[in-house]
């Protein structure tokens, strides 16, 4: 704890004084009474999520300052009031000293996603802090926490607007236009953590035939098409996601005949398709969310990438990712090595990829680094 790690595990707690309920603000002290930290209590293996290393109950001024600090960081990154990008992550949990809290900005709308009961009980103060820091530039705040809270508590929560509503759902990212469904889409509506990787993919896409596997709402597809890709296939098992992909293709005024959508299982599509792609993006959902499922996840990544490698032309480019937190960089890298051996392809690593700077990692909380990717040149 004195190394400023933001989690207190239940096994480290000798005693709890008084009646404590999930979501309560508690102080963590040593046996001799020496103060350590303040955080939200929640019954579980992580029993305290620390948001302050100073004593005292947080008031509105405290939350105002926390949001101000997060906003100052994004302003330093050039993401606030930028001419080409108006969507970014404002709060990234432990990376911003606010465990259990995600806030994404889409134009004039802030979308909050709470992963702890304590943060969800703080919604009124968080809305106040957002309005204090953004002023009239904030038109709406939407709470999308029902799916990410503990099951029993979350079953009583309904996603809803906490302030305003009806703000435009269209945003800009490096000059590309996207329609965002923050009300019923995955996560908060868009995978903001792939912004810089999408931009890099665009630099490779000119005049190439591209496959965007697990495309969701077509982020990589739009970047490839805008960069001059000859043709793009977008594949996702979700029909709703594909409808939004088609909408985004139309919003960006892509010429007819350069893009095709496929509502299909990615593995089935890869098995049936010809080996004629110049470039692929393989960005699957997390295959494992617990250590127990890590082995099966690794086998899944291996099969998927071996198949993808076999469908690339010589000289092809593969962007491949894992967002499974329990699969670290070294394990993911070794899994791709195994896939290349199975596919019997010669492969060169061009880039090691990660999450962008608006998804920061606290130096005291390395667990916050979850997204890893490789760009491969395949002979």
Domains, the chain, with CATH or none: 7-52 (2.30.130.10), 60-172 (3.30.750.80), 191-378 (3.40.50.150)
Q: Count other C-beta atoms under 10 Å from residue 156's C-beta.
A: 8
* Cα–Cα dist 170/340, whole Å: 39
CA separation (Å) from 283 to 98, 287, 374? 27, 11, 11
Provide the pLDDT for residue 288. Answer: 65
| DSSP one-letter string for 38-103 | EEEE-SSSEEEEEEESS-S---HHHHHHHHHHHHHHHHHTT-TT-SS--EEEEEEGGGGT-TTEEE
Tell me whether residue 323 is one of the annotated catalytic residues.
Answer: yes
pLDDT tens-place string over residues 223-269: 999 999 999 999 999 999 999 999 999 999 999 999 999 999 999 99
Q: Return the pLDDT at 275.
A: 81
How much is the pLDDT for 286?
82
Low-confidence ranges of the chain (pLDDT < 50): 1
Alpha helices in 181-233 (DSSP H): 195-204, 219-226
| The pair of three-digit structure tokens given for residue 97, joined into one six-digit string | 């000293």
Catalytic-role residue among 73, 114, 215, 323: 323
């Amino acid at each position: 704890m004195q190394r400023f790690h933001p989690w207190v595990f239940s096994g480290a707690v000798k005693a709890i004084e008084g009646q404590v309920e999930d979501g309560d603000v508690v102080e963590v002290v040593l046996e001799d009474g020496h103060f350590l930290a303040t955080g939200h209590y929640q019954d579980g293996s992580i029993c305290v999520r620390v948001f302050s290393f100073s004593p005292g109950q947080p008031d509105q001024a405290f939350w105002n300052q926390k949001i101000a600090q997060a906003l100052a960081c994004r302003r330093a990154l050039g993401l606030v009031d930028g001419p080409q990008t108006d969507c970014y992550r404002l709060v990234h949990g432990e990376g911003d000293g606010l465990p259990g809290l995600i806030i994404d900005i889409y134009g004039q709308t802030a979308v909050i996603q709470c992963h702890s009961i304590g943060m969800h009980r703080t919604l009124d103060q968080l809305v106040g802090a957002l309005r204090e820091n953004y002023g009239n530039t904030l038109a709406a705040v939407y709470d999308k926490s029902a799916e990410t809270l503990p099951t029993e508590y979350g079953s009583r929560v309904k996603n809803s607007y906490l302030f305003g509503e009806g703000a435009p759902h269209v945003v800009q990212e490096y000059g590309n236009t996207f329609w965002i469904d923050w009300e019923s889409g995955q996560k908060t509506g868009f995978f903001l953590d792939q912004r810089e990787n999408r931009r890099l993919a665009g630099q490779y896409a000119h005049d190439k035939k591209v496959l965007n596997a697990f495309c969701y709402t077509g982020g990589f597809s739009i970047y490839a098409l805008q960069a001059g890709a000859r043709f793009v296939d977008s594949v996702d098992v979700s029909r709703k996601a594909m409808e939004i992909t088609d909408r985004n293709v139309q919003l960006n005024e892509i010429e007819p005949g350069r893009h095709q959508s496929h509502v299909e299982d990615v593995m089935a599509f890869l098995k049936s398709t010809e080996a004629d792609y110049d470039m692929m993006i393989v960005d699957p959902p997390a295959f494992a969310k617990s250590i127990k499922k890590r082995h099966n996840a690794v086998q899944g990544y291996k099969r998927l990438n071996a198949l993808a490698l076999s469908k690339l032309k010589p000289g092809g480019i593969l962007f491949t990712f894992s967002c499974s937190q329990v699969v670290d960089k070294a394990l993911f890298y070794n899994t791709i090595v195994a896939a290349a051996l199975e596919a019997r392809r010669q492969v060169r690593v061009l880039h090691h990829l990660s999450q962008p700077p608006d998804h920061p990692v606290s130096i005291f909380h390395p667990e916050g680094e979850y997204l890893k990717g490789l760009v491969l040149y395949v002979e």
